[in-house]
Structure 1
Amino acid sequence: MRRISAFSASVIALAIAGQAHAQAAQEGTTPPNAQDNAAAGTAQTTAGSPAEAPNAVADAGAADSGSEIVVTGIRASLARAAEIKRNAAQVVDSIVAQDIGKFPDPTTAAALQRVPGVQVTVGGNNEIQNPLVRGLGDILTTLDGREIFTAEGRTFAFQDLPAEAIARLDVYKSNTANLIEGGVAGTIDLRLNKPFNYTDPTIAISGKLNYPSNAEKLGPQLSFLATDRWDTGVGEIGALLNVSWYDMPFNRPYNYVAERRAGSGSSAGILLPISTGGLNEYGRYQRPQANGSIQWQATPSLEIYIDGLYSAYRSKFSTGFYEYRLGTAQSVSDIVRSDNCFTANVGPDGFNPNATTSPTEITQQQLCGFTSATFNNLEAFTSTQAHNNRTDTWLAAGGFRFDRDRLKANVDVSYERSIVNNENFIVDIGKRVPEATLALVNDDQTATITAPGNPMADPTGFTFINALFQDYLRSSGGLLAVKGDATYEVDTILKTIEVGARYADRSARFQQVQLGVAPPGGSFATPIAAIDLPLERGPGIPQINNGAPFLLPSRDYLLSNSGQATIRNFFGAPDGQPAFDPTREFNVGEKSYAGYVQAGYEVPFGSGPVVLDGKLGVRYTRTDRDITGTGVVSGSPVTTTSSNSDTDWLPNASARLQLGGGLQLRATYARTLARPGFGSLNPGLNYIVSTNPNIRNSGSGGNPDLRPQKSDSFDATLEYYWNDGYFAIAGYYRDISDRVVNGVTAEEIDGIVYNISRPRNVGSAKLKGIEVSAQTFFSFLPGDLAGFGVFGNFTLADSKIGGEDALAGYSLQGVSKYNFNAGLLYDRSGISARLVYTYRSKYFDEDRTGAGDVRPVGTDTWLNYVRPNGRLDFSLGYDVNEHVTLTVEGSNILRSRYRSYIDQDYLWRDTRTDDSVYAVGVRTRF
C-alpha cells in the first residue's frame, strides 16, 4: 500500500485538489469553528483515514483493478495546506498533520516558524514560543474556532498544547467579519481531531525518546488516539479520545555581561560591567493532555456535539545563577583597552544620569571598552531559584450544526478555565575570590570568564548573602462564550448572506507575594555550615571556566517542606508560605458583545474560467471592563478601580480574481484591534529595594488608560497553483494606531530612585512587507528521484514606529526585517524526509533607554539587539508497513544560539546556548 508511481500520485493529488476546489466554490470558505469534514474529499473512503489532514486517499477503481492506493506523509499534508490557502476567503497559511499524531514539527510553536511571516523565540526550557505574525505578537488564538488563553493573559502558550493533539493549524493574516476580534496581527486557529473525520474504528499509538544534547538525558513522550462511530436508532454517534504525555529534561545555559558604568581608580576611563556571569535553567517538565469529542448526527440536517480539553504543565526546575561582581573588585589589572570609545555623561554613581540627577553632579568622561581585564579580590556568588510551576487549562464546549437546503447555522457554547501556580524559593551564597578574567574578544562574539582553580566549585568559604527571597504567584482566567453563526445561500451574484453574534464574559485574577529577608548578620557574615545547607553541582556554562560545574544550594532541599522550614527559621522569616500580598493583586471583569453581517459574492466573466469572488462585511464590538488593582503609594496600599468601555466597527472587504489554469489574484482590507493585556491595564504600582548593591531598585506599574491597538490592514497576493505545488507572492501594509510598548523611566518615591517599567501607547506604527512562498515536488524525474521536493518562503518586514515617542523612526520591538525558510523534501517508497533551515535577521527585544547604562552623549535611545540567527532541523520517517512507521528527528543541529548586544555592536550582553534535540520514535495505526 505504501508504494505508488509518480504518475499515479500526481493524478490522485490532482483529483483530490479538484474535488476540494469544486466543493469550496460551491460552499464558500468554512468558518474555523465548523468541522471541515467534507473538505478532505475522498479521504473518508479509507478505513481510519482522518479527514482533516493526515491522508489524501483515492480509490483507483478500474485504473488499478479495484486496488486501493493511499498517498500519505509530507506530500499529502502540503497538498492539503495549499488547497486551504487557495480557497480561503482570507490570506491564510496552514499546516496539516502528516498522519495521526504526526505534526511536521515537535511542537505547535516550532511548526509555526515554517509559516511565511512568522517569527519565534526560544524559551528558558528550550521550547520554541512567542510567535509573531508579520512582526506582531498581538495574536488571537482559537481552538476549533473558540478563543483560548493561558491564565490571566490574552495570549495562549502554544507549547501547552502538544503537537500530537493537532490535526491542522491555520494562520489567518487577514480578517473577515465572522472571525473573533482581538488580534491585530491575525488569528491562529488550532484544530483537533473529531470522530466524524474517520470512517472506521481507529487506534493510533505513538512513542518517542528525545535526547537534548545540553541536558544529556532521555525524555519520553507518548500519545494515544481511539475513535469509532456507530449507527443507532437515534442517529449516528461518534466518539474520540486523545491523550498524550511528555517528560522532557532541559538545560539552557546563559552567559551575560551586565550594564556598563564608568570605572574608577585603576579602571578609570573604562566601560566597566557591574557584573558578569551566567545561569542555567535546568530540570524536567511534564505535559499531560487529554481531549475528547462526541458527535451525534441526530437527523440528516442536525448534528449535536460535545468537546472537551485538558492540558497541563508541570515542572520542578532550577535557575542556577553564577556571578562575579566586578564592581566589588579591589583593583583591576592587565586591562587591554579597545579602540571603541565615546564621550559620556556620567552621574556620581558612575551610571548614566537620570531625571533626578542634579546637573552639578554630572561629568563628561571619555570611556573606552576593553578586550580583556583581570578583576582582583572580588565578590562572587551562586544562587538557586528553586521553581515549582504548574499550569492547568480546561475547556468544555457543546453546540449544534444545522444544514438544510440553503441554510447553515451553528450555535456553540464554551467555558474555559486556566490557572497558573508558580513557587519560587531563592537562596544566595557567596565568597570572595582572588581573581577573575573577563575577555570580550573572539570571532563568536561571546564573552568568556575564567577564575583560576574554579573557586566556586570549592565548598569551603561559602556564606549566606543578599536575602532569602520568596516569590509565590497564582493567576487565573475564565471565559464563558456563546457564539452563533448562520449562512444563507443565494442564486445570484450575491452568493451568501452571513450573520452572527457572540457574547463573552471574561474574568481574570492575579495574586503574588514577594518577600525578602536578609541573612543573620548581613551578607558575607554567616557560613552556610550554620544550618548545614546541602549543595549540588550546577551543570556548568560554556563561557565560564570552560563549562566546569559550580556549587549552589540544592533545589530539592529548597523545595522540600523541611528545608523551607529550616531556612525560614534561620533567616527569621514567618513560618509557612507567606500569604498573598494585597498590593500585588488585580481582578478583572470584562464583557464583550459582537455581531456581524457579511455577504459573499461571485461574478463570472462569460463562460470561461475567469471568476471574481470575495466577501464584504462589518463586525460591531463593544467591550465593558472593570479592573481593580492595589499598589503601594508613599508606603501605603492604595486600591484603584478603573472602568471603561470601547465600541468599534470593524469593516472588511476581499476580492479574488481566478484567471484559470491555477492563477489567481487576491486583495483584502480589514480593520482589526487588539485589547491591552490585563497586567498592562492594572492600575497598581509595585516596587522593591534591591538587595544587590550593584543593581538599581526597580518596579513596575500598569496603565489603566491604555487604548486598544487598531490596525488598518491591506493585503494583495498573486498565486499560481499546479499539480505538485504552488508559488505565491504577497504584499502587506499595516497602519497601526495606539501601539503599546514597555519602557523604563527613573522615578523617585519616598526619596529613593527606582527604575519603573510601564506600558504606554506610542501613537502610530507602520508595518509593510513582502512574502514569497513556494513548494513543489519533482514528479517529472525518473524513478525514486520523483520523490524529491522543495519548499521555501521569504519575508521582508519593514516596520517603523511613528508619533512623538522616543522610539519614533525605529522598527517595532521583536521584529526582524528578514526571515526565511528553505527546505528539502522527500516522500516516496515509504520514506518521508525533510531538512529545513530557518533564519531571522537582527531585532531589538528590549528598550533600555531609561536604564542606567552609560552611553554616548546625545544618545536618545538605548536598545538591546539580538544578532542574526538560523536553525537547521531534520526529520526522517520510514513506513515498515501500513501500520508501523519509524522516525528519526533532530532540531537545531547546528547549535544556533541567542547572542545580543546593547546598542553598540561591541557591547556584548547575552549568550544563550539553545539545545539540540534528537529523537527516535514509532507510530502505529490500526
Structure 2
Amino acid sequence: MHAKIKLPATASLLALLSAASLPLSAKTTPTPPKDEIPADEKIVDLEVFEVKGFRSSLSSAAEIKQSSATIVDSIVATDIDKLPDINASYALSRVPGVQLAHTFSGLGGNGAVTIRGLNQITNTLDGRQVITPGGIANGTAGVGVGQRTFDYSQIPSALIAGIDVYKTAAANQIDGGLGGLVDVRMRKPSDFAEGYGGGITAGTSYSALRDKNEQNYNVFFNASKKTEGFGKIGLLVALSDITTPWREDAISIGNPVASSTATTGVPTALISSGYNVNSSYGEFKTEGFNAVLEWQPNQSWQFYVGYNPNKWRNIQDTVQFVTALSAANVVPGSGTMFGGSSTAVRSATFANVTGTAYGFTRDLENKLEMFNAGGRYKAGDLTVKFDANHYTSSNRFYNNLVFASVNIPSLTYDLAGDIPSVRIAGVDLQDPTGYRLNQVNYRLFPSNTEGKAARIDAEYNIQKGFLSKVAAGIRYSATTSDNYPTGLFLGSYSFSPSNNLLSQYPGQWGPSPIKDFYTGYSEPQIPLYLTGSTAVMRDANAFYKTYGATNTPDTSATVNRLSLFDIEETTTAFYVMPQFAGLIGGYRIDGNIGLRAVETKEDTNGFQGANSASAVPLNLQTSYWNYLPSFNGRIHFTEQLSLRTAVSKTITRPNFGSLSPSLTLNANPVNPALNSGSQGNPDLKPIRGTNFDLSLEYYFNKSDLVYLAGFRKEVKGFISSFSEQRTYEGVTYVISTSKNLNPATIQGFEAGFQKFFTFLPKPFDGFGLQSNFTYVDSSTPTTVTGAGTVDTPLTNLSRQSYNIVGMYEKGPFSARVAYNYRSDFVTGFAYFVNTGLLRQTMLGYGDLDASLNYDITKNIQIAIQAVNLTNKLRYQVYGSKQVPSNIYLDGRQLMASVTLRF
C-alpha cells in the first residue's frame, strides 16, 4: 500500500505502548486527533513510499527506535508468520550489541544472550517477565538450574510480531536487567484491520549433515468487529508446530599436559590429554499457541485476556569415543613440534591407551504456560493501564548413558591441517570381544519456576509548560524457584567382571550409526566403533533392566535432600517518571527523569548436613531496597538529526540456584579424584551497575537511518564461581560455589546503517542494505582454583561483532542475504598444576544465511530459507589452533514453505 504518515515530532513513548504492557507495538501508531496533540509537538510529514515486506519491517523498527524515549533496537516480522530469521535467537543476533553462543547446531537453546557484554538481562513476553529456569548455562547443556534467563527457542517464530531490545533503562521498566531488557511481542487482534482473516503455512526443514527432513505447519485466525451496543471485539488464535532435524560433529582434544619424554630436547613440551570424537543428532520440536480476546465497550475502556502455552523439546542422541592420553603412555621421542617458539607437540604416539565408547540420550524440555488479563481506562488527559499475569515454567534435562572400555595398543594423533587426525593400530574397534562394560547412568536435572505479577501504570498529560506528562505506577510480583521433586538426581549401575561382556546383551551394541563423520574432510578419525543403542534409554527403568541392574531409578532412588532448594522472591516496585518537552536555545528537547524504588524479599529454603540422612532443613529470610534513578534526554538538531543521552542505575539479582544453601555431592565411582559438588551462597548480593549512554541518530526517511552510539557500564558485585576442596564423612570433594567480586567495566560503541536505494534506476531501486558494527571491551576479576583472582574479559563476549544484510524487494519477489560475524571470545578458564592458568577461547566465526520469497498471488506465497551456507568449522582452543580444545561442524539447514491466506 501507499501511505503518507503524519507523526508528532516528539511522539511519546506511551503513544506506542501496547494496551497490555511497557513494550512497543509492532503496528504503525495512528496519528491522534489534532486536539490531542500537545502544543509543543509539531507534525512531521514523512516521505511517501510503498510499505511492504522487508521495507515495512525495517520501517516499523526504525519508527520504534526514533519514537522511543530510550535507546532501543527492534526486529519486526514482515507478516503474521514471517520473522526475518529461522528463530528468535537468530533474529536477536542481528541486533547491534547483542551476541549469542551457539548451542545445538546453532538452532536452539538458551545460548547465553548478552547485551553489550552482559547476560544479566530482563526477559519479557508482551511486557510480562518470564523465566526459563534451567537447561543451558553458558552454552553447556544440562548444568543450569534456578536461572533467570529465557530460552527464546521455546516461542515459535511464526507467533512473534517483533522483538524489542532496550539498551537503556527507564523508571517504568521492570527492574532486574543489568544489561538491558528484551521483550518478545506476540500478535494481537488490534494489529489487524477490522474484519476477519487467516491462513496456514506448511513447510519442511532439512538438515544436510543429518540428511533428514521434518514437516511443519502454522495456522492463524483473527477477527474483529464493531457492534452497535457491545462495542468493538476482537479475537486472534494462532498455532505453530515446528520440527527441525539437526546434527553436530565434534572433535575434542584434552587439555595440554607437560611431557619431558615426548620430544627429545624439549622438556616442557605440551601434549594433549585426550582425543575424543562425538556426533550428536536429533530434532527440535517447538509447539506454541497464542489466543487473545480484546474488547472495547466504549472510548474510555479497553479489556483483554490472553493465553500462551509453549513447549520446546530437543530430542538428542549422542555417540562418542573417548581416549585417555598421558605423559606416562607417550612413546618417548615420538613427538613432532610445530616449530618456532611454540612448545605444543603437533603429533605424538601413545601406547596402551584406554578407549571408552558411549551411547547417550540428552533430552531437554521447556514448558511455559501463561495467562494474562488487563485493560486500559482513559478519561481526558488521564490514562490508566492495568495488567495481571500468572505463568508456570519448567525445564527437564534427562541424560541416560552406557559406556564400555577397550584397550588400544597404539594411537597417533596429528594436530596439523584444517582438523586434527588420528590413527590407531593393534585393535579392531568393531570387535565386541575387546570391550568391557563399565557403567549405566541415569541423570535428571529438574528446575521449576512459577510467577505471579500485577501492575498499574498511570499517565497524566499536563500539556502546558516544559513538563509535558507525569507517569507513575506500582508493580507487585511473586516468583518461586525450586528443583523439586528430586533435585539433581544421579543414579548409576556398575558392571562386575561376571556380567560386563557385550555378548551378554545381544542387540544392545552395534556399529556407530554415523558412517560419514566430518563429511567433506579427508583426515582420518577414530575408525567405526561400537556404541550402545539409545532405543531403550528413554525409559530409565527398562534401560536398567536391559543390562541386568538389580536397582532401577524407581526402586532404588532416594532423593538427596541436600540437593533440594525452594526459594520465593517477592518484589514491590514504585516509580514516578516526569516527562518533559520544549525548546532550549532554539532546539527542541524531550525526555524523562524518573526514580524506581523496589523492595525485594527472599525466603530461601534448603538443607544442610554431612549427608542426606543427617540433613536438616534451613530457612533464611532477607529483605532489601534498591533505588534506581534514570534519565533519558534527547536534543533535536533538526527534524532528522538528534542526540540522545542516558544515565541510569540498574541491578540484577543472583540466580535462584546461586542463592540455594543446599549442598550437592557427586561421587565419581571410577576416579574419586573427580568427586565434585556444588553449593549456593545465600549471602550473595545483587549486581549493581551505573550506565552512561550517548547515541547520535540521523533518519533519512521513515525506513532509512544511520547512527553511532557509545556506552560505558561500571559494575559492582559481579558473581564469580570458584572451587575448593571439602571433606564430608572422610571423602574429599571439589565443591563449586560463588561470591560477589568488584569491580568491572564494560565500554564500547555501536554503529549502524540501513537504507533502500530507491534513487537507483529500475529494477535496481529494489535493493537495500542493513549493517551494524559493535565493539565492546571489558575487564572483570575472575576467581580460578589454583590461580587466585585474575583480571579477565567477560566470558562469551566478543570484542567485535557485525552484521551485513543485503535485501532486494520488487513486486512479488523479495530476497535477503545475511552475514553475522563475531570475533574471538573467552568461554572459560581452568588452572592445571603443570600448565598453569589456561584460557579457553572460541575463535571468531561467521554465519551466512539467505532467504527467497515469492508471492504467486496476493493470497499464496512460497518461501525458501537457508542457514549456515558456508558450513564453516568453529574452533575452540587453549590460546591458539596449535593447542585445540574443540572443533565443531554443524552442517547446512534448508527450509521451504507455502503460505495460503484468506
State the TM-score, normalizing by the size of structure 2.
Answer: 0.89
Question: Relative to structure 2, which stretch is displaced further, 896-905 or 654-663?
Answer: 896-905
Instruction: For residue 35 of structure 1, report the CA deviation from its aligned partner.
Output: 8.0
Partner residue, 1:211: 206
Instruction: For residue 265 of structure 1, report the CA deviation from its aligned partner.
Output: 6.7
SS in 2 for 1:862: strand
Question: Relative to structure 2, which stretch is displaced further, 699-708 or 787-796?
Answer: 699-708
**One-letter code of the match for 2:473?**
G
Judged with a 3 Å threshold, the aligned counterparts in structure 2 of structure 1 residues 28 and 201 are, in CA distance, closer, same or farther, namely: closer
Partner residue, 1:499: 472
Partner residue, 1:192: 186
Same amino acid, percent of matched pairs: 26
Which of 145, 149, 160 is the equivalent residue of 2:154?
160
Which of 606, 621, 624 is the equivalent residue of 1:643?
621
**One-letter code of the match for 1:182?**
G
**One-letter code of the match for 2:376?**
R
Question: Relative to structure 2, which stretch is displaced further, 480-489 or 433-442?
Answer: 433-442
Judged with a 3 Å threshold, the aligned counterparts in structure 2 of structure 1 residues 222 and 231 are, in CA distance, closer, same or farther, namely: same
Distance in 1 separating the partners of 2:473 and 2:31 = 31
Instruction: For residue 28 of structure 1, report the CA deviation from its aligned partner.
Output: 7.2
SS in 2 for 1:478: strand
Instruction: For residue 263 of structure 1, report the CA deviation from its aligned partner.
Output: 3.9
Partner residue, 1:363: none
SS in 1 for 2:562: coil
Whether the aligned pair in 2 keeps the contact of 1:683 and 1:702 (CA below 8 Å) is yes
The correspondence of residues 506-525 of structure 1 with structure 2, limited to 5 A, is 506-510=479-483, 511-521=486-496
Partner residue, 1:48: none
TM-superposition CA deviations, 1:673-698 (whole Å, max 9, x none): 11110111111222323244497332
Instruction: For residue 190 of structure 1, report the CA deviation from its aligned partner.
Output: 0.8
Judged with a 3 Å threshold, the aligned counterparts in structure 2 of structure 1 residues 37 and 94 are, in CA distance, closer, same or farther, namely: closer
TM-superposition CA deviations, 1:79-120 (whole Å, max 9, x none): 110111111110000010011110000100100000001111
SS in 2 for 1:76: helix
The correspondence of residues 195-594 of structure 1 with structure 2, limited to 5 A, is 195-199=189-193, 200-232=195-227, 233-263=229-259, 270-327=269-326, 332=331, 335-338=334-337, 368-442=343-417, 444=418, 446-452=419-425, 455-465=428-438, 467-492=439-464, 493-510=466-483, 511-521=486-496, 526-532=500-506, 534-536=508-510, 537-539=512-514, 541-542=517-518, 545-546=524-525, 549-560=528-539, 563-567=542-546, 569-570=548-549, 572=551, 576=555, 578-594=557-573
Instruction: For residue 514 of structure 1, report the CA deviation from its aligned partner.
Output: 3.4
Partner residue, 2:633: 655
**One-letter code of the match for 1:794?**
F
Does 2:786 align with 1:814? no
Distance in 2 separating the partners of 1:30 and 1:425 = 45
TM-superposition CA deviations, 1:690-710 (whole Å, max 9, x none): 244497332222121111111
Partner residue, 2:717: 738
Distance in 1 separating the partners of 2:757 and 2:258 = 61
Question: Relative to structure 2, which stretch is displaced further, 882-891 or 483-492?
Answer: 882-891
Does 2:153 align with 1:180? no
Judged with a 3 Å threshold, the aligned counterparts in structure 2 of structure 1 residues 221 and 452 are, in CA distance, closer, same or farther, namely: farther
Does 2:810 align with 1:828? yes
Whether the aligned pair in 2 keeps the contact of 1:463 and 1:525 (CA below 8 Å) is no
Distance in 2 separating the partners of 1:405 and 1:247 = 50
Distance in 2 separating the partners of 1:721 and 1:888 = 32
**One-letter code of the match for 1:280?**
S
Judged with a 3 Å threshold, the aligned counterparts in structure 2 of structure 1 residues 248 and 649 are, in CA distance, closer, same or farther, namely: same
Whether the aligned pair in 2 keeps the contact of 1:669 and 1:715 (CA below 8 Å) is yes
Which of 641, 644, 651 is the equivalent residue of 1:666?
644
Distance in 1 separating the partners of 2:24 and 2:166 = 16
Judged with a 3 Å threshold, the aligned counterparts in structure 2 of structure 1 residues 548 and 405 are, in CA distance, closer, same or farther, namely: farther
SS in 2 for 1:539: coil
Instruction: For residue 622 of structure 1, report the CA deviation from its aligned partner.
Output: 0.7
SS in 2 for 1:558: coil
Which of 677, 689, 702 is the equivalent residue of 1:711?
689
Q: RMSD between aligned alpha carbons?
A: 3.0
SS in 2 for 1:218: strand
The correspondence of residues 73-222 of structure 1 with structure 2, limited to 5 A, is 73-128=53-108, 129-151=111-133, 152-199=146-193, 200-222=195-217
**One-letter code of the match for 1:842?**
D
TM-superposition CA deviations, 1:501-527 (whole Å, max 9, x none): 0010111111434334453326x9720
Partner residue, 1:912: 888
Instruction: For residue 30 of structure 1, report the CA deviation from its aligned partner.
Output: 6.6
Whether the aligned pair in 1 keeps the contact of 2:399 and 2:443 (CA below 8 Å) is yes
Partner residue, 2:595: 618
Distance in 2 separating the partners of 1:35 and 1:295 = 18
Distance in 2 separating the partners of 1:663 and 1:454 = 72
SS in 2 for 1:111: helix
Partner residue, 2:136: none
Judged with a 3 Å threshold, the aligned counterparts in structure 2 of structure 1 residues 283 and 460 are, in CA distance, closer, same or farther, namely: farther
The correspondence of residues 630-779 of structure 1 with structure 2, limited to 5 A, is 630=607, 633=610, 636-693=614-671, 696-723=674-701, 724-747=703-726, 749=728, 752-779=731-758
TM-superposition CA deviations, 1:702-722 (whole Å, max 9, x none): 121111111111100110001
Instruction: For residue 325 of structure 1, report the CA deviation from its aligned partner.
Output: 1.9
Whether the aligned pair in 2 keeps the contact of 1:420 and 1:476 (CA below 8 Å) is yes
Distance in 1 separating the partners of 2:555 and 2:14 = 65
Segments of 5+ residues of structure 2 without an aligned counterpart are 33-44, 134-145
Distance in 2 separating the partners of 1:32 and 1:601 = 24
Distance in 2 separating the partners of 1:871 and 1:389 = 25
Judged with a 3 Å threshold, the aligned counterparts in structure 2 of structure 1 residues 868 and 331 are, in CA distance, closer, same or farther, namely: closer
Does 2:21 align with 1:33? yes
Instruction: For residue 881 of structure 1, report the CA deviation from its aligned partner.
Output: 1.5
Distance in 2 separating the partners of 1:210 and 1:308 = 28
TM-superposition CA deviations, 1:752-793 (whole Å, max 9, x none): 554332222121100110100010011000011000111111
Whether the aligned pair in 2 keeps the contact of 1:684 and 1:702 (CA below 8 Å) is yes
Question: Relative to structure 2, which stretch is displaced further, 304-313 or 745-754?
Answer: 745-754
Does 2:19 align with 1:19? no
Instruction: For residue 448 of structure 1, report the CA deviation from its aligned partner.
Output: 2.4
Question: Relative to structure 2, which stretch is displaced further, 169-178 or 540-549?
Answer: 540-549
TM-superposition CA deviations, 1:1-22 (whole Å, max 9, x none): 8xxxxxxx7xx4xx23x43757
State the TM-score, normalizing by the size of structure 1.
Answer: 0.87
Judged with a 3 Å threshold, the aligned counterparts in structure 2 of structure 1 residues 673 and 426 are, in CA distance, closer, same or farther, namely: same
Whether the aligned pair in 1 keeps the contact of 2:289 and 2:310 (CA below 8 Å) is yes
Distance in 2 separating the partners of 1:746 and 1:292 = 52
Distance in 1 separating the partners of 2:827 and 2:783 = 21
Segments of 5+ residues of structure 1 without an aligned counterpart are 2-8, 45-57, 64-68, 343-366
SS in 2 for 1:423: strand
Distance in 1 separating the partners of 2:833 and 2:310 = 42
Whether the aligned pair in 2 keeps the contact of 1:329 and 1:379 (CA below 8 Å) is no
Judged with a 3 Å threshold, the aligned counterparts in structure 2 of structure 1 residues 313 and 637 are, in CA distance, closer, same or farther, namely: same
TM-superposition CA deviations, 1:162-183 (whole Å, max 9, x none): 1111101100000100000011
Which of 762, 782, 788 is the equivalent residue of 2:767?
788
Distance in 2 separating the partners of 1:841 and 1:87 = 32
SS in 1 for 2:794: coil
**One-letter code of the match for 1:816?**
S
Whether the aligned pair in 2 keeps the contact of 1:260 and 1:853 (CA below 8 Å) is no
Whether the aligned pair in 2 keeps the contact of 1:263 and 1:269 (CA below 8 Å) is yes
Whether the aligned pair in 2 keeps the contact of 1:484 and 1:500 (CA below 8 Å) is yes
Does 2:816 align with 1:839? no
Whether the aligned pair in 2 keeps the contact of 1:508 and 1:588 (CA below 8 Å) is yes
